[in-house]
């Protein structure tokens, strides 16, 4: 019997996670008896949700909200809520308020309940905690030196998660997600958007702009793999993990050229021809500051599983989104 | 012409720093025209202080205090104020309030002034940002994974310092101090206190307890070297330092046995006999989790200078404190 709370449940990964858990009807072998889904917009009720499911719109970072969210003492809390990278960079105060203070309020609300309440908290961090220059691949004990406010806020939250876990206030696991590819839906303004766009748009018969060179290498995972990481993190034994509660998730180091070859296999030459090369120096500069590849030895040893291949990532996308080729 | 603010000026290192600056009458070649010294107790006025010197007791972490401290727009701010390791571990809220929130309020107060105000902020961090297991020596790009709340608060403050520096809100340098040896004055309750105590007490004809084995290795710097690090950090060119604004200071990796040999040279056999060996499993466990040695390549390349030898550290102590052997 497990009561699960997902904060950020209307986002792409949060929604996939909720669907996976409700489809299974359980979380790591424990029957799902209660599900609370919250986000700034009301999350949809997933198919097969347990009867005791609450979907609610709220800003978890506002005073008093976190206390309300944890008052019913969920056993597992997935914390996926965040202001994204681009917005946190421009809106400094908003980024710190939500990504750092909101996270801290949540952790403090859990701590305040006390009386032996020590839920598993799975926190989505990001490879944005790293900033150039890097070794290649980046080992697990490499310095987080972010070059964005978003990365700084995630790295600070990681430290708080580890300290509060060490002190027994909560039982946290922080997972640094790779860039999620192929993101379904419309193109977004994220600088990393083209990694998805050059697959998604051509498979839908639409043009996609490629703003960087074909040899650009990036660390990727599918939405399905991301949901899998979250579920696996929820079941880890804290003692086995030890005091270093944050870790980089396994991904695939894929070049743009490899993405295009996969696109060719699934969509043929006509799909590849829909990619328009138009270099964007700003995007190229941002991408140059991102990590390329990792050696996520700890996560692999703890049983986290990356996608098998970029072909498998695209196959998953086609299946999950019901794309007709 | 330089206006200097020292927060934490009544502490051992803050006081040494104030004395060095007032003795020189300048900071890195700029004439000292104004000096503001604050701490929770009113700091003493150093000899040769400029006429425009303010010594004030205040808790910099309370609402409105930081705004008042920076209102006169000091050019260089030394931020040394902190709840120490042991207290921050037991008093979790107090530690976060002062070591993290206080630091953040200070940084926000600087940012809020705006209109091109971008002072050099020298922040004293600590090697407590690192937690076992370590490589030996620890390189500059090693993961901060603290095993104390104090270390977590320092590591979080480092991230904020770097992010606010990158965004041009302030011009920060964070320096991770080694353990300061020989601390003058009375024995304190710090677990690291014996590294000073086994020199200080025997040179004063008093018994000192040694709670660990003779082969324990530790990273040390003299109070004079620490003041030198702070002054050097105040003069660094931010562009040269780049976005990684926090760095480990050079120190000496010294064993307890080497300390004792130095004591023998200065105080003779009678001093060495005043060391009483009484192993303390708790202290031994804490010490085992501490870093032993570093490869502080960046700090050395930027011109920070360690003490020459442990003999030189003890020589400095004897001179500065006027010890009669």
Please give the average per-residue pLDDT across A227-251, as a whole number: 97
**Tokens, residue B216:** 């324990």
pLDDT at residue A84 is higher than 90: no
Chain B residues touching A145 at Cβ < 8 A: 141, 162, 243-244
Helices B223-235, B12-24: crossing angle, 10 deg rounding: 60
* Longest CA pairwise span in chain A (Å): 62
Averaged pLDDT of chain A: 95
Task: Establish if B131 touches chain A: CB-CB under 8 angstroms.
Answer: yes
Task: Identify the pLDDT of residue A57.
Answer: 97
The Cα B8–Cα B59 span in angstroms is 10
CB contact (8 A) between residue B167 and residue A147: no
**Model confidence over B174-189: pLDDT tens digits?**
999 999 999 998 877 6
pLDDT at residue B102 is higher than 80: yes
The Cα A86–Cα A91 span in angstroms is 9
- Please pick, among B96, B117, B150, B317, the residue that the annotation labels catalytic: B150
- Which residue, among B152, B161, B176, B244, would best test binding to A if mutated, counting the most A CBs under 10 Å from its CB? B152
The residue to which tokens 């970072």 are assigned = A61
The Cα A66–Cα A64 span in angstroms is 6
Least confidently predicted of A27-36, A43-52, A276-285, B7-16 = A276-285
Helix, strand, coil share (%) of chain B residues, nearest 5: 40, 20, 35
Is B135 within 8 Å of B164 (Cβ atoms)? no
CB contact (8 A) between residue A146 and residue B156: no
Chain B residues touching A167 at Cβ < 8 A: 92, 149
Please give the average per-residue pLDDT across A287-315, as a whole number: 94
Task: Identify the pLDDT of residue B187.
Answer: 79
Which residue in A146, A155, A167 is closest to B92 by CB distance?
A167
Active-site positions of A read: 150
User: Which pairs from B232-237 meet CB under 8 Å and 24+ separation?
Assistant: B232/B28, B232/B302, B232/B303, B232/B304, B232/B305, B233/B122, B233/B173, B233/B175, B233/B304, B234/B27, B234/B28, B234/B76, B234/B78, B234/B120, B234/B122, B234/B173, B235/B27, B235/B28, B235/B29, B236/B173, B236/B302, B236/B303
The Cα B226–Cα B99 span in angstroms is 20
Nearest CA to CA, how far is B142 from chain A (Å)? Answer: 5
CA of B152: which chain A residue's CA is closest? A159
Please give the average per-residue pLDDT across B128-141, as a whole number: 94
- Which residues lie closer than 8 Å to B71 by C-beta, 6 or more apart? B113
Task: Establish if B297 touches chain A: CB-CB under 8 angstroms.
Answer: no
CB contact (8 A) between residue B162 and residue A145: yes
Please give the average per-residue pLDDT across A133-161, as a whole number: 96
pLDDT, greater one: B48 or A85: B48
Residues 205-264 of A with CB under 8 A from B: 243-244
Q: How many CB atoms lie within 10 A of CB A89?
A: 16
Task: Identify the pLDDT of residue B54.
Answer: 96
The Cα B267–Cα B210 span in angstroms is 17
Nearest CA to CA, how far is A199 from chain B (Å)? Answer: 34
Task: Establish if B280 touches chain A: CB-CB under 8 angstroms.
Answer: no
Task: Identify the pLDDT of residue B285.
Answer: 84
DSSP annotation of A322 reads T
Please give the average per-residue pLDDT across A146-156, as a whole number: 96
Least confidently predicted of A146-150, A195-199, B86-90 = B86-90
Nearest CA to CA, how far is B70 from chain A (Å)? Answer: 20
Task: Using DSSP, state whether A205 is helix, strand or coil.
Answer: coil
Q: How many CB atoms lie within 10 A of CB B230?
A: 27
**Model confidence over A99-120: pLDDT tens digits?**
999 999 999 999 999 899 999 9
The Cα B293–Cα B291 span in angstroms is 6
Nearest CA to CA, how far is A160 from chain B (Å)? Answer: 7
Nearest CA to CA, how far is B140 from chain A (Å)? Answer: 8
Nearest CA to CA, how far is A145 from chain B (Å)? Answer: 7
Q: State the Cα angle at A104 between A87 and A56, rounded to 5°.
A: 70
Least confidently predicted of A259-268, B28-37, B316-325 = B316-325
Least confidently predicted of A79-88, A135-144, B73-82, B305-314 = A79-88
CA atoms within 13 A on the CB side of B136: 11
Averaged pLDDT of chain B: 95
Residues 164-183 of A with CB under 8 A from B: 166-167
Q: What band does B289 get if pLDDT is binned at 50, 70 and 90?
A: confident
CB contact (8 A) between residue A152 and residue B159: yes
- Element holding A77 (H helix, E strand): strand A76-79
Chain B residues touching A146 at Cβ < 8 A: 159, 162-163
The Cα A128–Cα A136 span in angstroms is 16
Chain A residues touching B163 at Cβ < 8 A: 146, 149, 152
Q: What band does B36 get if pLDDT is binned at 50, 70 and 90?
A: very high
Nearest CA to CA, how far is B298 from chain A (Å)? Answer: 14
The closest of B27, B36, B87 to B65, measured between CA atoms, is B36
Which residue in B140, B159, B166 is closest to A155 by CB distance?
B159
The Cα B272–Cα B178 span in angstroms is 25
CA of B96: which chain A residue's CA is closest? A160
pLDDT at residue B287 is higher than 90: no
Nearest CA to CA, how far is B161 from chain A (Å)? Answer: 10
- Which residue, among A89, A92, A156, A170, would best test binding to B if mutated, counting the most B CBs under 10 Å from its CB? A156
Chain A residues touching B85 at Cβ < 8 A: none
Q: How many CB atoms lie within 10 A of CB B51?
A: 7
CB contact (8 A) between residue B145 and residue A131: no
Q: What band does A25 get if pLDDT is binned at 50, 70 and 90?
A: very high
- Which residues lie closer than 8 Å to B134 by C-beta, 6 or more apart? B142, B291, B292
**Model confidence over B188-243: pLDDT tens digits?**
767 889 999 999 999 999 999 999 999 999 999 999 999 999 999 999 999 999 99
CB contact (8 A) between residue B159 and residue A146: yes
Classify residue A5 by burial, with Cβ atoms within 10 Å: 0-12, 13-18, 19+: buried
pLDDT at residue B296 is higher than 80: yes
CB contact (8 A) between residue B143 and residue A147: no
pLDDT at residue B264 is higher than 80: yes
pLDDT, greater one: A76 or A192: A76
Task: Establish if A144 touches chain B: CB-CB under 8 angstroms.
Answer: yes
pLDDT at residue A190 is higher than 80: no
- Which residues lie closer than 8 Å to B243 by C-beta, 6 or more apart? A131, A145, A147, B162, B165, B166
**Tokens, residue A74:** 């969920």
**Model confidence over A241-292: pLDDT tens digits?**
999 999 999 999 999 999 999 999 999 999 999 999 999 998 888 888 888 8
The values of phi and psi at residue A283, to 5°, are: -65, -40
Task: Establish if A114 touches chain B: CB-CB under 8 angstroms.
Answer: no
Please give the average per-residue pLDDT across B265-294, as a whole number: 92
The values of phi and psi at residue A52, to 5°, are: -85, 70
Write down all domains in chain B, each with its CATH number in brackets.
Answer: 2-177+221-248 (3.40.50.720), 193-219+252-292+307-321 (3.90.25.10)
Query: Is residue B150 flagged as an active site residue?
Result: yes
Please give the average per-residue pLDDT across B265-269, as a whole number: 96
CB-defined contacts A:B, below 8 A: 63
- How much of chain A exceeds pLDDT 70, in percent? 100
Which residue in B144, B163, B243 is closest to A149 by CB distance?
B163
Strand partners, B118: none
**Tokens, residue B74:** 């000091």
Is B109 within 8 Å of B69 (Cβ atoms)? yes
Chain A residues touching B92 at Cβ < 8 A: 167
Task: Identify the pLDDT of residue B292.
Answer: 85
Strand partners, A32: A2
Chain A residues touching B140 at Cβ < 8 A: 143
pLDDT at residue A44 is higher than 80: yes
Which residue in A92, A142, A162 is closest to B141 by CB distance?
A142
Please give the average per-residue pLDDT across A18-30, as a whole number: 96
Which residue in A92, A131, A167 is closest to B167 by CB distance?
A92
């Amino acid at each position: 019997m497990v009561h699960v709370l997902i904060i950020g449940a209307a986002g792409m990964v949060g929604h996939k996670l909720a669907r996976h858990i409700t489809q299974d009807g359980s979380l790591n072998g424990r029957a799902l008896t209660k599900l609370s889904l919250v986000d700034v917009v009301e999350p949809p009720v997933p198919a097969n949700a347990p009867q005791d499911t609450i979907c609610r719109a709220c800003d978890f970072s506002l005073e008093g909200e976190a206390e309300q969210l944890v008052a019913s003492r969920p056993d597992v809390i997935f914390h996926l809520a965040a202001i994204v990278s681009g917005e946190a960079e421009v809106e400094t105060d908003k980024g710190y308020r939500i990504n750092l203070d909101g996270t801290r309020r949540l952790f403090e609300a859990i701590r305040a309940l006390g009386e032996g309440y020590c839920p598993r908290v799975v926190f989505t961090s990001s490879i944005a905690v790293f900033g150039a220059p890097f070794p290649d691949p980046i080992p697990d004990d490499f310095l987080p030196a972010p070059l964005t406010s978003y990365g700084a806020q995630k790295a600070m939250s990681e430290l708080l998660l580890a300290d509060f876990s060490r002190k027994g206030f909560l039982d946290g696991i922080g997972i640094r997600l790779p860039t999620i590819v192929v993101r379904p839906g419309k193109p977004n303004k994220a600088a990393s958007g083209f990694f998805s766009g050059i697959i998604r748009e051509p498979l839908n018969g639409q043009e996609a702009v490629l703003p960087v060179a074909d040899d650009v290498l990036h660390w990727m995972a599918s939405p399905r793999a991301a949901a899998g990481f979250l579920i696996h993190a929820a079941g880890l034994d804290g003692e086995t993990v030890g005091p270093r509660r944050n870790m980089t998730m396994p991904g695939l180091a894929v070049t743009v050229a490899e993405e295009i070859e996969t696109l060719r296999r699934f969509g043929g030459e006509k799909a590849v021809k829909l990619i328009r090369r138009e270099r964007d120096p700003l995007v190229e500069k941002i991408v140059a500051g991102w990590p390329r590849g990792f050696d996520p030895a700890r996560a692999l040893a703890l049983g986290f599983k990356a996608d098998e291949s970029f072909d498998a990532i695209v196959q998953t996308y086609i299946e999950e989104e019901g794309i007709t080729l």
